[in-house]
Amino acid sequence: MGVYKRAMKTTHTETLNRLSRVAGQVQGIRRMVEEEKYCIDIITQIQAARSALRSVEMQILQKHMHHCVSSAVESGNKKESDEKLEELLCVMKKQY
């Protein structure tokens, strides 16, 4: 396995670990609601989970840009490059 593939594997493993932590946070929020905890405490935990999920999203987006998009651009294939850039624009538009 090459260095890049090992780095990609590590990144996937790290991403999966982070997603497991987010899932744990969401389960904790569910328990808080079931136990009728204080609303502000629940909202604070929701905000923390949302922030953690945004962090995972950014990590995946960076990986996509550094690998998929840059590979398409470097290939010289204009159609492929345009498709990858259009995908990015569509994803970014959904943020607003």
Residue 2 pLDDT greater than 80, yes or no:
no
Q: CA nearest 12: which of 49, 64, 54, 50?
A: 64
Residue 92 pLDDT greater than 90, yes or no:
no
The predicted pLDDT at position 96 comes to: 72
Domains in the chain, ordered, with CATH? Answer: 3-94 (1.20.58.1000)
The predicted pLDDT at position 3 comes to: 47
Residue 7 pLDDT greater than 60, yes or no:
no
Residues 12-65 have pLDDT tens digits of 899 999 999 999 999 999 999 999 999 999 999 999 999 999 999 999 999 989
13: CB partners within 8 A, 6+ apart:
none
| Tokens 């990986």 sit on residue | 63
Q: Note whether 49 and 30 are within 8 A (CB).
A: no
Segments of the chain assigned E as strands: none
The predicted pLDDT at position 4 comes to: 53
Q: Which amino acid is at 74?
A: E
Q: What predicted TM-score, i.e. pTM, was given to this entire model?
A: 0.77
At 2 the three-state DSSP class reads coil
At 36 the three-state DSSP class reads coil
Q: Note whether 50 and 25 are within 8 A (CB).
A: no
The predicted pLDDT at position 6 comes to: 55
